[in-house]
Amino acid sequence: MFELNESSHRRLNPLTGEWVLVSPHRTDRPWQGQVEKASREQIAAYDPSCYLCPGNERAGGARNPQYSSTFIFDNDYSALQSDAPGESFSARKSHLPDSDLLVAQVERGICRVGCFSPRHDLTLASMSADGVERVVEMWSEQFRTLSAIEFVRYVQIFENRGALMGASNPHPHCQIWATESIPDEPAKEQRELNAYLAKHNRCLLCDYLEYELSRERLILQNAGFAAIVPFWAVWPFETMIISRRHLPDINHFDEQTSKELALTLQQVTRCYDRLFDVPFPYSMGFHQRPVDGEPHQEWHFHAHFYPPLLRSATIRKFMVGFEMLGSPQRDITAESAAEKLRQVCATI
């Protein structure tokens, strides 16, 4: 038997069927690579040049209302078009001339931006509990509204926080993309969730959560949700938030469950900020059932946090070389990452 904390090994992600290489013996290797500047910038509550602040003009020329809570609008530079040409979804698959190798397909969609607060200087970690609850309400309303559009088959809610994750504006906000097809990552999960249900007649994430609630990868929990560093984590301090009940999407939440999700998000993001004492960058998003009219009893609501910081506020993880050409690799084990996060969470 090999030791998980000593020997190189690989771990299977049962949600995708993909592997991650783990190399715990490399944690002490010296670092002479790129070092970032730690973010210590003081951000004002209102920025007259910010295109998301209340009353300001956006890049596309529209002016924001003087909103006092959350604010949602169609992205001025949307990655998807709702009026893209074509007939039915199945009829638009098009092989380019003289080739079965070059295949293109029209993809309709809607991209929206959701501001968490009129305050330019807040984050999920620094907002009030009521404020985060209003954000959850916004997500639920948008999921319900976009799901009702005839051509929409998936609604992806996500947040990029910090310049390291490509966020071009520090104003607290998320994006919501409604797509005509199911994107690759949730499609992989749907395949594996279906396969597990067919084999065991049980939900994969229900079983996984039951296992992890008594293990060292658990960070925190409440009556509605648990935050875990998954056994197969790729990013150094990657976490998952999993609903304690088998709920397929955010619209199946009652008022108390929404409050518990808001509390969990607030706690996890505060733990991140405390880890290296900097505003912690990440990409975060929810995976929930497709909205294609099928029942999807296999789906179980969960969120993924993918933060890039590795050893400190100034050293980040890069996906290069073997990771691009072979498979992802990490040095810090999921167990040691969870221990560090639990330690900082205990101080909040």
Per-residue pLDDT of the chain (348 residues; tens, 9 = 90+): 567 777 899 999 999 999 999 998 776 665 445 555 656 678 999 999 999 999 999 988 999 999 999 999 999 999 999 987 765 444 455 555 666 777 788 899 999 999 999 999 999 999 999 999 999 999 999 999 999 999 999 999 999 999 888 888 999 999 999 999 999 999 999 999 999 999 999 999 999 999 999 999 999 999 999 999 999 999 999 999 999 999 999 999 999 999 999 999 999 999 999 999 999 999 999 999 999 999 999 999 999 999 999 888 888 898 999 999 999 999 999 999 999 999 999 998
What is the distance between the alpha carbons of residues 15 and 295, in angstroms, rounded to a whole number?
Answer: 19
Q: Could you identify the residue written with the tokens 């969120």?
A: 303
**Catalytic residue list:** 173
| CA gap 274, 343 in Å, rounded | 10
CATH homologous superfamily of 71-179 equals HIT-like (3.30.428.10)
Give the integer Cα–Cα distance in Å for 92 and 103: 11
In CATH terms, are 9-24+183-345 and 71-179 the same topology?
yes
Which is nearest to 76 in space by CA: 46, 41, 51?
A: 51
Let me know: does 106 contact 85? Beta carbons within 8 Å: yes
What residue ranges do the domains of the chain occupy? Answer: 9-24+183-345, 71-179
- In eight-state DSSP terms, residue 124 is T
Question: Which class is domain 9-24+183-345?
Answer: alpha beta
What amino acid is encoded at 320 in this protein? V
Contact 124, 173 (CB under 8 A): no
